[in-house]
Structure 1
């Protein structure tokens, strides 16, 4: 039976296009105003730039010390993703395969931790971090991201691992593979679709996070891209032209990462549906 193109379909498509354009409005304001002189931003915010001022990006790049803050953000994001994927995948695997009541209790504790607001624990967190010497440390921040990201990451891995046939692991054990080897050689490669999804979600969160790094990283040499961008806003001045250009410079790496990983997501979904 052929699907006919009806008036209802046309209306739905128009509404979808309008909704898409509505979501693109903030991007238009950021991009267009990042190419204007400061005075033009104040006087004519909505219009396109009269003259495209690419010097904003050059000045923002220099004042941000972009290569330094970019490397800080990259190290934090990559390291946090690695520890989250390694530890949380193993934890989720053991919680799924260990059929004991304590496993369900631990899993529910991780899930419950997802609903605790960060603001309610940030003061005791910083005091504890100071006691253990984790402040002004990139690796201290990575440890905190492991704690805060474990709930969602274990939750996603837990649901995916339950769909993996246990017979694959039993066959590997019969062939002489250890429990550790079973996980890394058999189970973990099958987790690629959900691992890609987890890495993307955690990267968006960690790269764009402002509050936790602002509390932990007081040393200017350790600033991330969001922290460095914040310093365009002083007590008496707000450098909107440079700040908006800095926002674009901070977004570009994430866009490149997302589009480069997109094909892996689609491939993982299609291979999973065939299985």
Structure 2
């Protein structure tokens, strides 16, 4: 009876996996088809596999340029999130008082607020800062990075906070007695012990920042500043959509992050489990 139950469960899992993977299959096979083949049967395999549409998609997207833009925004965002969130979580754990708890739960609460409810007020505030304080928060990579840091800080502080509790305070006390400064205490003693959770936070932020379309579409308007996700907009015109090139372009946008995730998934699971338990 148990064996039958496991078999049924396995079949259901396979069916669900195929359902979730079906959009990727459709995207891949249609990226190789001519327009006539695509409209004839979207699910069938192409008659021939040619990278012609991938070449055209790369030219239309200006792939190398937008790839560099995305990489720059992603790397800088992750560096700031890791540095600021780890230091914040450390202070919140070590200063165990009412104010630190309020601040921590405020960070946690930001994880529950949908971005769609904040995007219009956020753009109004950023426009006010640009107009009155003359700080270029809109249509700049710096402004986008600043907003990314704010949106990603909540989960990063949450993960670091859980992991930080496992670090013995005796290590820090011993370093302090040896004359170590606060700055040295964190970077020489505490931060090296956060390697597992730091890798997890970095991976999650890389995936989130790379795949983000909505926030960059609100912040960036100049063509030269667009990220790789925004570049796919070129394929969807007002009256016509070049579907085979669009599918090729979408495939190009997800290939780097899929490869990255394939190598990094074990660290995500390990880090989240460690942070949640501790």
* TM-score normalized by the length of structure 2: 0.89
Asked whether 1:190 is paired with 2:187, we answer no
The residue that corresponds to 1:221 in the other structure is 224
1:100 pairs with one of 75, 90, 97: 97
RMSD after superposition: 2.3
Whether the aligned pair in 1 keeps the contact of 2:78 and 2:206 (CA below 8 Å) is: yes
- Following the alignment from structure 2 to structure 1, what is the Cα–Cα distance between the partners of residues 108 and 272? 25
- Unaligned 5+ segments in structure 1 are none
Any residues of structure 2 matched to 1:1-275 within 5 Å, and which? 6-130=3-127, 131=130, 132-262=135-265, 264-265=267-268
TM-score (norm 1): 0.90
**Which secondary structure does the structure 1 equivalent of 2:259 belong to?**
helix
Distance, in Å, in 2 between the alignment partners of 1:193 and 1:108 is 23
Tell me the distance in 1 between the aligned counterparts of 2:103 and 2:250. Answer: 40
d(CA) in 1 for partners of 2:216 and 2:77?
13
Regions of 4+ moved over 4 Å: 263-272
Size of the alignment, in residue pairs?
A: 270
Q: Which runs of 5+ in 2 are unaligned?
A: none
Task: Please say if residues 60 and 234 of structure 2, whose CA atoms lie closer than 8 Å, have aligned partners that are also in contact.
Answer: no
Counterparts of 2:80 and 2:193, CA distance in 1: 19
The alpha carbon displacement at 1:265 in A equals: 4.9
